[in-house]
Amino acid sequence: MRWFCLLLISALALAACSLLPPLDPMTSKSLTVQPATDTAKTLTVKGGMVFYSDPSQAHGIRFPPGTYALEAEDNDYWYFRSPTPLEFRDFQNGAVTSAKDVPGGIMIPRTFTKSLQNLVAGAGYTDGESPGTRNMVWKLGGEFRHLEGTEWTKSF
């Protein structure tokens, strides 16, 4: 009977997740940061990673390959600076309609528990208005977390 209850609860939880609206990755959230305390931490993107806003692929972000150095942190995230600018693209009928390269990087949660609370497994960020701020601009969902070990790795 106990196994049946666990199975039923699991099935209901999965069904509830399917009722949630899809994650809209594009955002604009200013966050206050301080300089990193452990600059030896790195994140490496192997061949470049591309994420799209939705199945129509109207908007995209590319994280270029290379070693991303820990530059800042806050209570929830570590901020790893990309060695080259992030690439933002807008598309219409498969053609690029807008392109901009912006300095920034990848932010990842300090703990996975906080990631679950915020529903953000990671995010793209750009520089804020001041040296002590960063702008979360692209939320990364579970797909990003699943790519760890194959498309990206961390040194710690």
Mean pLDDT: which of 9-13, 108-112, 128-132 is highest? Answer: 128-132
**pTM for the whole thing?**
0.81
pLDDT of 15 higher than 60: no
pLDDT tens across 75-117, in order?
999 999 999 999 999 999 888 999 999 999 999 999 876 555 5
State the amino acid at position 62 in one-letter form.
Answer: R
When pLDDT is cut at 50, 70 and 90, the band that residue 12 belongs to is very low
pLDDT of residue 117: 56
Tell me the domain boundaries of the chain: 25-154
pLDDT of 59 higher than 70: yes
- Nearest partner of 136 among 70, 69, 86, 66, judged by Cα: 86
Rounded distance, CA 115 to CA 49, Å? Answer: 20
When pLDDT is cut at 50, 70 and 90, the band that residue 18 belongs to is very low
